[in-house]
Copies of this chain bind each other. A is one copy, B any other.
Amino acid sequence: MKVTAKEISKQLGVSIATVDRVLNNRANVSEKMRKRVLEKAEEMGYVPNRMASILSRKVTFHVAVVYKEYPAYFWEQIETGIAQAELELRDYGVTVHRFRLPVEAFTESPERIQEILADDTIDAVAIAALGDAISPYLKASKKPICTFNVDAQNSGRLFYVGCDYYSSGRLAAELVAKLVPAQGKVGVLLGGNHDYQAREKLQGFREGLEEFRLELCKAVRLGESDLPFQPGQQWQKEMAGLDGLYVATAELGNVAEFFSKYPKHQVAALVGHDMNDLIYKHLHTQMIAATITQDPVSQGYLAIKKLFSLMVLEDEDAKQSTITKLEIVMKNNASYYT
């Protein structure tokens, strides 16, 4: 038999409203009554029905998700997770508003973000905190905010959902170390802007290599002129003679494609991040030895679910940040990541 508040009230001979007040720690109940009800509830094994509760409270919860346009393949995976959460929570009165903004909105001209933060039809915000420029706005806002994918440590955000970039670099080091021929020379290819994530990855990679008694021979930063890749660019000269290469930027697929067109540049162990069609292809050609993913689908999903748990269900556990899994993808498990 299902134990309901009504059933408890009947047994106790009090009104259902009183039972409700006790069960939800509302004011205006005598200490005696509180005890009586609590005891009975315990005895009968009462479990509240969140469905009925939400239905009757007519809750609506509008959450804005703010993230970037590129790399498209990556944010589309995040969007898959967002869609999943949306579907699961739509009965609970949750509406998701997506704001996929150009990168400038996070760096130079944050007006759009300010607007969202000021919009009072929005109950909570999940934002990929790309660029430090927006941090002050996050701090200034009184809205519940969580960060995902990229954290903003001192922005007063509720929690962060995303990976640990230091570990990410460390894992890359382990992979390169294990996949490269003994005593091979290893290098790293970095992106143009050396942001927090890039710094953490590099640091992790360095320390990870030490663990395997390898040292980093070359660290090359890609410049404006290096993209798109063509033969004869500066970075290729610098990378010459390496056996293992860690691509710490979002160019893994393009590097592999380049190597496959101009095989003389090729390295024995090519490792990097994320998954897309090109990376998938070159896991299959064995041009890429392994890639590391950070479970973007979960990141999108959890950011929204946790905001809902915390704000609507008032589950304090949701305040904890969630560090998402780093997964190793090779040729024979690549199909699970597309």
Contact = CB atoms under 8 A, between A and B. Distances in A.
Contacts of A65: none
A74 interface: no
Nearest to A90: B47
Interface string A156-188: 000000000001001101110011011000000
A208 B332 contact: yes
A309 to B, nearest CB: 11
28 contacts: A51-B51, A51-B92, A52-B55, A55-B55, A167-B332, A171-B330, A171-B332, A171-B333, A174-B330, A174-B331, A175-B330, A178-B178, A178-B179, A178-B289, A179-B179, A181-B182, A208-B332, A323-B336, A325-B327, A325-B337, A326-B332, A326-B333, A326-B336, A327-B327, A327-B328, A328-B328, A328-B329, A328-B333
A281 to B, nearest CB: 17
A272 to B, nearest CB: 15
Interface of A: 2, 47, 49-52, 54-55, 60, 90-93, 167, 170-171, 173-175, 178-179, 181-182, 208, 289, 323, 325-333, 336-337
Contacts of A327: 325, 327-328, 333
Nearest to A292: B333
A333 B91 contact: no
Nearest to A167: B332
Contact of A49 (B2, B52, B91, B181): B91
- Copies of this chain present in the complex amount to 2
Nearest to A171: B332
Contacts of A326: 332-333, 336
A199 B98 CA distance: 48
Contacts of A173: 332
Given A50-B91, A51-B91, A325-B327, 20 more contacts: A2-B60, A47-B90, A51-B51, A51-B92, A167-B332, A167-B333, A174-B330, A174-B332, A178-B179, A178-B289, A181-B182, A208-B332, A323-B336, A325-B333, A325-B336, A326-B333, A326-B336, A328-B328, A328-B330, A328-B333
Counting chain B CB atoms within 10 Å of each CB, which of A167, A174, A175, A333 scores highest? A333
B332 A178 contact: no
Given A326-B333, A327-B328, A333-B328, A51 B55 contact: yes
Contacts of A92: 51
A237 B263 CA distance: 44
A337 B327 CA distance: 10
A120 to B, nearest CB: 17
Nearest to A49: B91
Contacts of A179: 178-179
A319 B250 CA distance: 37
Contacts of A289: 178
